[in-house]
Structures are given as structure tokens and as C-alpha cells.
Amino acid sequence: MKYRNATELLPLQLLQELQKHAQGETLYIPKVKRKPWGEGTGARNFFSRRDMDIRKQFSSGTELTQLSQQHFISEDAVKKIVYKKGAINMTTNQPDYSKYFWQNETVRARLAKPDDWKYHKHPNYDSEDRFFTDYEQELPHDDPQWQEKWENYINANANDDSRVIFTFENHAGEYVGGGNLHGINERNGTFGMFVAADAERYAIAGARLMLEYAFNERRLNNCHTGFIENDTIHQPIFVKLGFKLEGTRRQQVFHKGQYWNENLYGLLAEEFNAQR
């Protein structure tokens, strides 16, 4: 700390007044309180408005990735803004998800979008697991090919009432799985369902949302699906959902030089609602 002679800095009258209280002593004169960060340059107001805009967009359904790209900040930075304690007013900008139809205690569901391709690409896409998913062994392909395939799939079914494709997210807005309702026949009240997720609990939670919609909003009555014998990936999930084995189609699918049986399962609306 640098010491200065008061006679060099203070007016004579002020110096004489100080000498009434202290003479020959060293005094510390504190600085005037600084303005909070950013107030002098306007940065504080800029970032405040930006954060408010990010929260508003997120509440309206804009994804974290899109917000990150739009505002040139990382997704982690967006999450800190969006999920800051007390930052979101549930009575104004943020929807009240406690009564949101497409949410339960584990996941939220939304319609799938073309740019969801990056989430749905399974790391073992061309593996044996994929055979049990689609009843076929697909040719190998790279990311651009898969992106085109997924986008065409979503766009082709966008206006098809017989198929509805969903994406599942956890409550933090992160992708955890997806599924679809297909072969919807309004006249007979029948439909099929497929579901897959990063964890079984997400698959079950997402499937229950889709079944709630199919049975109790669309007035459908019978959900049917099938699994290749020895499928330990999807079949256990549907059994836990209450699906019952209804029959077997023998030697239905050809794979690796042999025919495989297909086990048929079904669930009625009354059976699903009895679980509630």
C-alpha cells in the first residue's frame, strides 16, 4: 500500500478538520463502493434479457441444442440458465407440467422430428439386436445415409393418421427413447405399438403414455404386437406392461439360414385401465 502526505492531497480546511481528530497517524481511506458487474457497460442488462429469452423459448418447447446454437453458448450453459433455482416462474412462462397429458413421473413424450435422427441412431445399429427390432438384417450405412433415411421416415408419416411417432425425454429435456403407434384402424379399434429406450424404465413409462392416448383418447380397444422367439430385449417390456401371449406364427421370419417363430401378444383397453 502506498502512503501519501495529506498536505499534498487535501484542502487546508479539510486537513485542519482532520487534525482535530488525529495527528501524526496513518489513516486508511476506503474506496467508494463499486457498481455491480456489468452495470456500467450495459452487459448486465444484456445477459439478463438473453437469459429471460432463453427460458421463454425453452418453456415454449425449443430444444437445448437449438438454444445453444442460436445463442452461441454450450448446452451446459443453457441448462444452467434454464434450470437455475427460482429462475422459471411456473405461473407465467413455464407450462404447469403437473397436469400435462404427455408426462408421467419418469418421461415426457412429444412428436418425433426429422432432426431426431442423431438420437435414434443405436450404437449397434447393424448388430443382432437390430434384427429383433425390425425383423431384418439391414445393410451397413454411415451417418448421412441414416439421417436421410430417418428424415424420409418422419416426413412420409407426418400426415398419416394410421401411424404416430414419438420421442421420449426425461424431465431435464434429454432424449431417452422413442416409439410409435402403427397400423391404427379406427373402424375396428386395433393398432400396433413399438417402443425402445436407453433404459427399460423409460421404455415402460413412454409406452404407458402412448397406451393412455390410444385407449382413452383415440377410443381404440386392442393393441397387438409380435416378437421373434428368443427376443430378450423388447418382449420382457411388453409383458411388464400387461400384454398377454395370444399365439405363435411358426417359421415366420428367415435369418442366418433358418426360420424363426414369431410370438404374438395383445393388450385390451379394459386390461390396461384395470392396472391404473
pTM assigned to the model: 0.62
> Quick check: 211 pLDDT over 90?
yes
Structural domains in the chain?
6-82 (no CATH), 97-274 (3.40.630.30)
> Quick check: 255 pLDDT over 90?
no
Looking at the DSSP assignment, which residues form a beta bridge with residue 181? 164, 193
Closest alpha carbon to 260 in 125, 136, 129, 130: 136
Handedness of CA 53, 103, 165, 175 (dihedral sign): positive
The DSSP element (H or E) to which 134 belongs, if any, is helix 128-134
Residue pair 201/106 in contact by the 8 Å Cβ criterion: yes
Q: What is the pLDDT of residues 158-182, one digit of tens each?
A: 888 899 999 999 988 899 999 999 9
Predicted pLDDT of residue 91: 45
Q: What is the pLDDT of residues 23-34, one digit of tens each?
A: 777 777 766 666
Closest alpha carbon to 167 in 237, 217, 128, 116: 116
Q: What is the pLDDT of residues 1-47, one digit of tens each?
A: 566 777 777 787 777 777 777 777 777 776 666 656 555 666 777 88
